[in-house]
Amino acid sequence: MNVTLAVKQYISKMIENSGPGMKVLLMDKETTSIVSVVYTQSEILQKEVYLFERIDSQNRDNMKHLKAICFLRPTKENVENLIQELRRPKYSVYFIYFSNVISKSEIKALAEADEQEVVAEVQEFYGDFIAVNPHLFSLNLSGVARGRSWEPTLLPRTTQGLTSVLLALKKCPMIRYQLSSDMAKRLGESVKQIITKEYELFDFRKTEVPPLLLILDRSDDAITPLLNQWTYQAMVHELLGLNNNRIDLSRVPGISKDLKEVVLSAENDEFYANNLYLNFGEIGTNIKNLMEDFQKKKPKEQQKLESISDMKAFVDNYPQFKKMSGTVSKHVTVVGELSRLVSERQLMEVSELEQELACQNDHSSASQNVRRLLQNPRVSEMDAVRLVMLYALRYERHSSSILPGLMEELNRKGVSEKHCRMVTSMVEYGGKRVRGSDLVNPQDAVAITKQFFKGLKGVENVYTQHAPLLQETLDQLIKGRLKDSHFPYLGPSSLRDRPQDIIVFVIGGATYEEALAIYNLNRTVPGVRIVLGGTTIHNTKSFLEEVTLTAGAGQAERLQRAGGHPNRR
Amino acid sequence: MASSYPPPFEGTGEVKEGFLCPLCLKDLQSFYQLQEHYEEEHSGDDRHVRGQLKSLVQKAKKAKDKLLKRDGEDKPETGSYESFYYGGVDPYMWEPQELGATRNHMDFFKKHRAARIDHYVIEVNKLIIRLEKVRTLAQTTADNHKLFSVVAWVSDTDVPFCPDCGNKFNLRNRRHHCRLCGSIMCRKCMEFVPLPLAYKLTSGTREARSVTGSQSQSPPTGGGGNVSGMGSRRGSISSLSSVTSMLEEKDDERIRCCLHCMDTLMKRQQKLEEKDHVPDIVKLYERLRLCMDKVDERAPEYIRMAESLNAGETTYNLDTAGGLRMEVQKYYELIDALSKKILTLGMKEEPQPHQKTLQLQRMVRYTATLFVQEKLLGLMSLPTKDKYEDLKEKRKQEQEKRLTQERLVAQKRRQDSEKNRPAASTNGEAPQAPRAPRMTKAGGWLPSSDTLHTCGELEDPLLQQIDNIQSFLRQAKAAQRHDEVAMLEENLRQLQDEYDQQQTSLAIALSQRLAQEESLQQDELQRLEDRERGEREHRAQSQAPGSQATYTWQGSLNLTDTGSLHGEEEGEEEVTPKAESSPLSMRAFPALTDQDEESPPRLRRLGGDVTPPGGEGQNSSSLNPFEEEDSTPVEDPSNPFFEEIQKEHKEVANGKKEYNPFEQEEGGEEEQGQAEGATGNPFEVKEENNEGNPFKEASGCTPPGASTNPFEGEDEEAMPDVDVIEEDLLLQQIDNIRAYIFDAKLNGRLDEVELLSENLRELQRTLQEQKSKTH
């Protein structure tokens, strides 16, 4: 159930299959991300892979002394490029791996192009997803929805991605989906169809309790991606943007050249691995310790390595030292930038209010606070908009809603028209009308008492009160209490026992806060392994873009429908 | 040797292990009971010693694991997630999984490719055959007509447009025929095969490669019409245009063909070229990888050695390790040099190589640098010779401590058991205490090695096994199978550990026995003799007895190396053994490495087989360095044996050559020579009836019934001397025990305190007795 390991194993198997000698890895745009997320350059260099090329790159020289490992998605363009490549081979041998199911006719076309017999291997290795963490994968697809239905080209791609996860993990699951979302149902059916069609592939050893695939829709919980985050990974993504585990720091003032883009990978960065899920305060302490540790190891300038044994000791420790210095400067820069942004944008205050909006039920205090913060000139446009969005989602139907007043406030603040419109889009995307679950106002008695007790106990940390809806959903799922009426099974059979291996997929994107929740579930609940996936992994910015795309298309659709069939209304 | 010796007074459990029955693991409190048990229970199944050995090793392993585990549990678990969370598993620690699903399309691919390849090969061969024909024709005849015989030309009238570019043929744009397939194309779409290329293609690779680049540029042959040549009148004769075209054409040195034929030919030519061309980078790279593989192979071996040496262990030889280090470093230099060469490949050439080639070279270099950085700088340094001595000394002391403590425990046991079986010891217990201190000295391991040997030359199954493994090890090393070597070494170490433990317990028994033996008398003789020699030959020696002792200790523990053998022998005479052997060993590298590696097992084996210099045990025993150290000057020139020793002194010199100093366990076998003859074997000694030795029985060789101890008779005579000699040692031992008592009190182990103080009292009493005797 470790997705990172699954991809790593695929790739090392490919390299292993090709035997010794210098190698080049031929990839397309997407597989490049897939590989680069799980392997660092130096790691893969050690496996004798010295060049990384794009199959569509024209700037490739004839290098007959290299073996080519092609890892490609089975798209039309890739197959076409590969055919061209085989007709005039630039490398001595080709080991071809497709990241998903490829049709017989395409293989035939390739075979006919291989006149020089350079192809040594044609296989399907199902690494068709981006393994962000061992329990978290993404497909890097944005704008998957058009209104309330799939963007037509992205449904097949999502299906491919999701089935490849199943194949890589060797799971042939039962499928449950969120009833309120048509997209979830469509995706479930589509996955089911592939499983039926490729039944030979999905013929795995049966486990006692079959694995479960749960398909959810982002629109059910639009609040989580709007919140500011305070755990390291989530915070970095929220404030700086993690893209395939890389952060672009080029906008940071006074950044050194080496640190313009840094990689944060838990696979090779011990500090990151240990602090991934710790909150900002703890990271501060840890980074201080890291610095102190580093200072201790660092040779003191004054002492200048006087004796030979000094020098020897230094050289002995040098690789660790060098590695450590890289880690230290990287994390110090990142954390420094985070804290700069926090104070510049007054994120503590903003976040506190966000959490209040998300978790508490006090309209008057909430509306007052929102108004007050909107008037604060240091609160950024984006944060202002997100506060209003949260308010709008939370108190959508409240009798004394001050939403129009807040919109005016936004206008006065000089927030652009585009952003103001997003508030409406957001309500349209994740408003009450759409939601299948009770995101904000729990109806059943148990949940109400729970919330009540939570209120009594007070909160440990005001910035991390919020628990994503997903956590509650999974909790119920594990306890076998998730209602079939809301999350029906696809097909006749249903799971009797407590589920063990669960794959959750969120259409419209997951978040790192949810990843953390899953991580904690994995650690605390015995016998359960959960993997979370999403069409992408959102921060507020990307989520707003997604919503704009979705809602924009939805509006156009409606307008069209309205214009086309005026009589229907 | 296990590096996990328990701290003093905590290892009672481990001592107990020494009395476990090796076959059924039954705990039998004392050695005597063990022996009895062994006779009763296992005399029948002794025949399959081999098979039992395996289980023995496994059990030794198990015991070790248990021990390690116990140690592990003692440590508080810190920082582990699992200690704070119950139940679930951190996704980073999910158990390993198998490779995901895959599907292979190669069979399908091959099926379709095969059909295609057949077609392709036929096409190519056809072209080549035609090319050959056209070429010979072109050389021999100018008659264009003959060209028809090669391939039928397509009729002009059938082709109104150029099939490649689609232009209409007319007076200006005339038709041309491909000489190889007969098809028609326009002038623009026409290609030429230069004759040299044609020659090369048709005759394999025999032709020079110089043509390679030039074939695409049509060679400019002299201006003006060239009608002579091969009468190359392109186009069909029937066509009007052919007459005029003759005027322009000058293709006497090449063969006209169409794009498609040209393409096929070019591919073929490229293939021919690549077939036996190995670029420089590949050659260099192959060597680079070879070096890296060597390092991967050697470095772990070295690290293991260095770790062991740095812990003061004596499993490996310092010089061997040094040599290995040099070897590995040499590989690193080679890697560095090769990768630099790869980096600069083609840099000076014009034009510069393709940027991807450069990138490749940079990457190879970068990888090599990473490799060197990671592995070379991770190589730990070896201790210097001096430091190594220190380490060994330290470790030795640790072992001594442990031994002493074990002895104490055993003593108690023995006392207990003797209460039950008073008949067992006929010689009385009095000498036990005075004898004991010897054990704690540097030579403390001696008796244990004695026993090894006495146990009946390799008849001890463990020893046999060790010996076997050593020979396997040697074979494996010769066969360069390093993984196996590692495994065997590990095995060997385990066996040795086990053996050491066994020997330790035996040693305890022996030490008690020995006290009753007149072998002590021999000891004294040696001492006297040594002293005599020392006085006669080197006055200086006596000034530094400590350092010498240290050195010889090393020598006898070290497995190897003629250098140190030499040093050892010299050490008897020179006081500067370190200075002498260290440069020697340094120089020995790296050429000697292989030899060195091989020698330990060989030497050891030798040691195992060697019968100590016969009945002249006394002579060789005089060489025992430990005795020398032990011998506090209690000189007695009037010693009745003195003359005898003097006489034998020359023989000693011979014996010296023979005796092998390189046994770990066997170290100091010279002494056991006589010990063996005497009583060394605790089994034999104890049980007068002598079926006693189970190991002997196991190998099916019944020892002579009732081995009467030849020295037994002298017992009484020797005793007083011995006691006198031990006086200093006694004092030391008393000090030691006092320290232990203090330690035990501090740690609140009252039972031990009691035991120790009893011991102390005994020692003091003995001391008193001695004093009264001497004065």
- Cβ neighbours of residue B645 closer than 8 Å, sequence gap 6 or more: B525, B528, B529, B532, B618, B622
DSSP element (H, E) containing B282:
helix B280-310
Residue B443 CA neighbour count, 13 Å, CB half? 28
Residue B388 CA neighbour count, 13 Å, CB half? 27
Give the model's confidence band at B645: pLDDT under 50 very low, under 70 low, under 90 confident, else very high.
Answer: very low
Chain A hits for B281, CB-CB cut-off 8 Å, are 22, 65
Shortest CA distance from B116: residue in chain A: A112
Inter-chain touch B100–A10, beta carbons under 8 Å: yes
Is A266 within 8 Å of A133 (Cβ atoms)? yes
Shortest CA distance from B289: residue in chain A: A21
Is B516 within 8 Å of B627 (Cβ atoms)? no
Is B532 within 8 Å of B633 (Cβ atoms)? no
Phi/psi at A532 (5° precision): -105, 140
Q: Is the pLDDT of residue B8 over 50?
A: no
Mean pLDDT, residues B541-559: 41
Amino acid at B59: K
Phi/psi at B39 (5° precision): -60, -45
Is B309 within 8 Å of B383 (Cβ atoms)? yes
pLDDT at residue number A498: 84
pLDDT at residue number A197: 92
Inter-chain touch A59–B355, beta carbons under 8 Å: yes
| Residues 177-236 (A) with a CB less than 8 A from some CB of B | 201-202, 204
Distance from CA of B85 to the nearest CA of A (A): 6
pLDDT at residue number B302: 82
Distance from CA of A234 to the nearest CA of B (A): 17
Q: How far apart are CA A302 and CA A304, in angstroms?
A: 5
Is B134 within 8 Å of B147 (Cβ atoms)? yes
* Higher-confidence position of B181 and A182: A182
- Let me know how long chain A is: 569
Q: How far apart are CA B188 and CA B378, in angstroms?
A: 66
Chain B hits for A101, CB-CB cut-off 8 Å, are 103
Give which of B184, B176, B155 is closest to B241, Cα–Cα: B176
- Cβ neighbours of residue A275 closer than 8 Å, sequence gap 6 or more: A232, A282, A283, A286
pLDDT at residue number B9: 41
Residue A546 CA neighbour count, 13 Å, CB half? 30
Give which of B391, B131, B417 is closest to B256, Cα–Cα: B131
Inter-chain touch B99–A46, beta carbons under 8 Å: no
Token pair recorded at residue A200? 């030979």
Mean pLDDT, residues B730-736: 70
- Cβ neighbours of residue B384 closer than 8 Å, sequence gap 6 or more: none
Other C-beta atoms closer than 10 Å to the C-beta of A340 total 13
Q: How far apart are CA B37 and CA B33, in angstroms?
A: 6
- Residues B677-703 have pLDDT tens digits of 444 444 443 434 444 444 443 333 333
Give which of A71, A87, A77 is closest to A56, Cα–Cα: A77
Percent of chain B clearing pLDDT 90 (strictly above): 1
Is B434 within 8 Å of B730 (Cβ atoms)? yes
Chain B hits for A167, CB-CB cut-off 8 Å, are 100-101
pLDDT at residue number B558: 40
Amino acid at A477: L
- Residues A159-198 have pLDDT tens digits of 999 999 999 999 999 999 999 889 999 999 999 999 999 9
**What's the mean per-residue pLDDT of chain B?**
61
Q: Is A39 on the interface with B (CB under 8 A)?
A: no
Amino acid at B75: K
Which of A69-83, A402-416, B179-193, B356-370 holds the top average pLDDT?
A: A69-83
Inter-chain touch A316–B381, beta carbons under 8 Å: yes
Residue showing tokens 């060197």? B372
Residue by residue, DSSP assigns A5-68 as: HHHHHHHHHHHHHT-SS-EEEEE-HHHHHHHHHH--HHHHHTTTEEEEEETT-S----EEEEEE
Q: Is the pLDDT of residue B371 over 70?
A: yes
Inter-chain touch B94–A116, beta carbons under 8 Å: no
Amino acid at B521: Q
Chain B hits for A135, CB-CB cut-off 8 Å, are 91
Distance from CA of A538 to the nearest CA of B (A): 21
Chain B hits for A170, CB-CB cut-off 8 Å, are 97-98, 100-101
Token pair recorded at residue A334? 């990142």
Token pair recorded at residue A307? 């004796």
Q: How far apart are CA B430 and CA B720, in angstroms?
A: 12
Is A386 within 8 Å of A540 (Cβ atoms)? yes
Give which of B436, B513, B529 is closest to B684, Cα–Cα: B513
Q: How far apart are CA A232 and CA B560, in angstroms?
A: 57
Shortest CA distance from A65: residue in chain B: B282
| Residues 287-316 (A) with a CB less than 8 A from some CB of B | 312, 315-316
Tabulate helix, strand, coil % of chain B (nearest 5).
65, 5, 30
- Cβ neighbours of residue B587 closer than 8 Å, sequence gap 6 or more: none
pLDDT at residue number A508: 92
Please report, for residues A299, B32, B529, B545, B553, the alpha-carbon distance to residue B627 in angstroms, rounded to integers and kept in the order given.
50, 29, 11, 11, 11
Q: Phi-psi bin for B611: left (phi > 0), alpha (psi -120 to 50), beta?
A: beta
- Cβ neighbours of residue B742 closer than 8 Å, sequence gap 6 or more: none
Q: Is B692 helix (H, G, I), strand (E, B) or coil?
A: coil
Inter-chain touch B103–A50, beta carbons under 8 Å: no
Q: State the DSSP code for B224.
A: S
Identity of the residue in B85, B112, B381 whose CB atom sits nearest the CB atom of A312? B381
Q: Point out the least confidently predicted range of A140-144, B44-48, B190-194, B508-512.
A: B44-48
Tabulate helix, strand, coil % of chain A (nearest 5).
50, 15, 35
Best probe of the B interface among A50, A205, A529, by most B CBs < 10 A, is: A50
Chain A hits for B354, CB-CB cut-off 8 Å, are 61
Which of A66-75, B425-434, B741-750 holds the top average pLDDT?
A: A66-75
Quick check: ipTM above 0.85? no
Q: Is A123 on the interface with B (CB under 8 A)?
A: yes
Amino acid at A218: R
Q: Is the pLDDT of residue B658 over 60?
A: no
Q: State the DSSP code for B168.
A: B
Give the model's confidence band at B414: pLDDT under 50 very low, under 70 low, under 90 confident, else very high.
Answer: confident
- Residues B576-627 have pLDDT tens digits of 344 344 343 344 343 333 444 433 444 344 333 433 443 443 443 444 444 4
Distance from CA of A401 to the nearest CA of B (A): 44
Q: How far apart are CA B361 and CA B339, in angstroms?
A: 8
pLDDT at residue number B51: 46
Please report, for residues A50, A499, B311, B391, B451, the alpha-carbon distance to residue B395 in angstroms, rounded to integers and kept in the order given.
48, 56, 8, 6, 22
Inter-chain touch B100–A6, beta carbons under 8 Å: yes
- Cβ neighbours of residue B346 closer than 8 Å, sequence gap 6 or more: B352, B353, B357, B361
A–B CB contacts, 8 A cutoff, strictly below: 176
Is B160 within 8 Å of B168 (Cβ atoms)? yes
Token pair recorded at residue A88? 């005039």
Inter-chain touch B109–A169, beta carbons under 8 Å: no
- Let me know how long chain B is: 775
Q: Is the pLDDT of residue B218 over 60?
A: no
Q: Is the pLDDT of residue B651 over 60?
A: no
Other C-beta atoms closer than 10 Å to the C-beta of B756 total 25
Shortest CA distance from B115: residue in chain A: A112
- Residues A105-128 have pLDDT tens digits of 999 999 999 888 899 999 999 999
- Which residues, given as ranges, of chain A have pLDDT below 70? 297-322, 436-460, 553-569
- Residues B229-273 have pLDDT tens digits of 333 344 343 444 444 444 444 455 677 888 888 888 888 887 777
Chain A hits for B285, CB-CB cut-off 8 Å, are 22
